[in-house]
Amino acid sequence: MALEPRLHVRPTFGRQEQFYFLKAGLLILAIYFFRREIYSLAGFFLLFLPLFFFCIIWFKSIQTGDRLLDIVKEHVTFIPIPYAEGGRRAFIPKVTLLLILLNVLAFYFVRLASEEGARFIVHNFTFLPRHVSGWNIWLSPVSSMFLHADAGHLWGNMISFWAFGPAVEERIGARKFVFLYFLTGIAGSLTAVVVFRVFMSETFHAIGASGAIAGITGVFLVRCYFKKLVVPLPLFGLLNFKLRINSLLPLGLFFLLDVRSGFEQLAGSRTPVAYWVHVGSLVAGILFSARMNLHRAAAEEKYTEAGLAAMDNQLTRRESVDSLLSALQLNPDNEAALMGLAREYAITRKPEGRDLFERAIRLKLRTAPEQAMAAYQEYRDSYTQMLEPELQYRLAGIFYRNDDHEPAARMLEAIILEPSANPDTRQRSFFQLIVLLAENNMLEAAHYRLGQFREQFPGSDLVQAAEDKFVEILKS
């Protein structure tokens, strides 16, 4: 039984999302204040992790009926590097990989340089430069992002970047990703310069990509706040258990620790870590992302994923409809939400489902014609009415070009038999149908349709074109 939509549709961040952020914030504070106790229990947890792991997969196997081996594959990995869950499609984060490569090459280039050359680089390309000149003052905000003090500094940053960079790049695109990477990195460096000068009367000098990476995590907090962070925990030898946690927790905790350590620096603590760069960049990432309305895209994606995931559960189908309606309120052209709701309404042949199918097919014709064909087949399984004539004509052409002639012929026949269809669309449908029938050696049917075409549109130029094409096919 299909479900009626509720009248109230949630805003970008309704009560449910506000409660989600409140719970995450309280949990972050709890972890922060009890972090020492949690650290002391970490060893105990890791000791019994294999037992917990087997209990989890055994329970899930009973619950889902899946094979134990399949569940094990889902929950273990050989790669001991954390990462954020991606989207619904395969994606290669080219910009993230390129930036990691450039950082690695820059580090080992400096390591291979002579002592004098390394000193020149450090003095001129850190931010702020130790030897300020007219050229390096403009270059150093960017060049300092590719310099690192040692291998631990480099690879720690790169692992953090890999954890969050690909998910952000996938969602905002390469250009915005590069723009925000450098913009937030520079913003963080300027923040540290101001803080050190105002509160410590010192000149700030720092290197490293951590500011830009913190900026990307700020973007992540806005655009991907609902995604899980997969943290590999050692299980057996090279095997790691994939622990999935709310990504807001580690990022919120790191932010609080950076703020605390930053104030300790102002109080006289001498540490080489640029905490105020991290704080400034992360805040800049959040502010710039909000300015770019990335939070709306994030809410849309979350509502869509939640709605589609809840559709298969009878107990949560009401929430599924509400979530998909919320996603469409944020973006009326959300193809996944349109198809999800169309399938739900098609169960009882609701007219709204027909309209949703038409909208989804129209969008897919522009982006993925093969998917438009599949959507039409779903539509025909539930509805007997033809689509809007011009849309159906365009879709028939896709079927024809993919050598699926039978549905193409049926779609064209429906158009020529529809008196309310635009005359121009009916004429083009007559022409294409005659050609299709003749090409498939259905000559009698083609000749019959040609006679109808001549009778109904005697003055049409396409009638003569259809006759010429029919004769041409006969001769061949």
- Per the listing, tokens 């700030």 go with 204
pLDDT at 399 over 60: yes
Average pLDDT in the 305-312 region? 86
Cβ atoms of residues 334 and 367 within 8 Å: no
Residue 239 pLDDT grade (very low, low, confident, very high; cuts 50, 70, 90):
confident
* Whole-number pLDDT of residue 5: 47
Average pLDDT in the 407-414 region? 95
Residues in the chain: 476
* Whole-number pLDDT of residue 357: 96
Taking only the tens place, the pLDDT of each residue in 322-363 is: 899 999 999 999 999 999 999 999 988 999 999 999 999 999
Say which range, 21-25, 88-92, 149-153, has the weakest mean pLDDT. Answer: 88-92
* Whole-number pLDDT of residue 449: 94
- What angle, rounded to 10 degrees, do the helices at 335-346 and 317-330 form? 140
Sequence-distant (6+) residues with CB within 8 A of 446 are: 434, 437, 438, 470
Q: What is the residue-averaged pLDDT of the chain?
A: 90
More confident residue, 122 or 449: 449
Domain ranges of the chain: 15-77, 83-292, 386-476
Surface-to-core class of residue 33, CB atoms within 10 Å of its CB (0-12 exposed, 13-18 middle, 19+ buried): exposed
Taking only the tens place, the pLDDT of each residue in 2-49 is: 454 444 445 566 677 788 888 999 999 999 999 888 888 877 777 887
> Is domain 386-476 given the CATH code 1.10.10.10 in the classification?
no
Average pLDDT in the 255-277 region? 91
pLDDT at 59 over 90: no
Say which range, 6-20, 254-268, 404-418, 439-453, has the weakest mean pLDDT. Answer: 6-20
Neighbours of 73 (CB within 10 A): 10
pLDDT at 1 over 90: no
Say which range, 74-78, 216-220, 439-443, has the weakest mean pLDDT. Answer: 74-78
**What pTM was estimated for this model as a whole?**
0.85
Go through 263-283 and write b for each residue having 16 or more CB atoms within 10 A of its CB, e for each that does not: eebeeeeeeebbbbbbbbbbb
* Whole-number pLDDT of residue 95: 97
* Whole-number pLDDT of residue 97: 97
Report the percent of the chain where pLDDT is more than 70: 96
* Whole-number pLDDT of residue 40: 85
Average pLDDT in the 289-297 region? 94
In CATH terms, 83-292 corresponds, of 3.90.1210.10, 1.20.1540.10, 1.20.1560.10, 1.10.10.10, to 1.20.1540.10
Sequence-distant (6+) residues with CB within 8 A of 392 are: 386, 411, 414, 415
Cβ atoms of residues 170 and 93 within 8 Å: yes
CA nearest to 428, candidates 459, 399, 466 = 466
Q: What is the DSSP letter of 98?
A: H
* Whole-number pLDDT of residue 135: 87
- What angle, rounded to 10 degrees, do the helices at 174-200 and 136-143 form? 110
Which residue type does 38 have?
Answer: I
Q: What ranges in 173-234 are assigned the alpha helix state H?
A: 174-200, 210-223
CA nearest to 328, candidates 351, 313, 308 = 308
Neighbours of 144 (CB within 10 A): 27
Residue 66 pLDDT grade (very low, low, confident, very high; cuts 50, 70, 90):
confident
Which residue type does 117 have?
Answer: G
pLDDT at 262 over 60: yes
Rg (CA), the chain: 30
pLDDT at 87 over 70: no
* Whole-number pLDDT of residue 98: 97
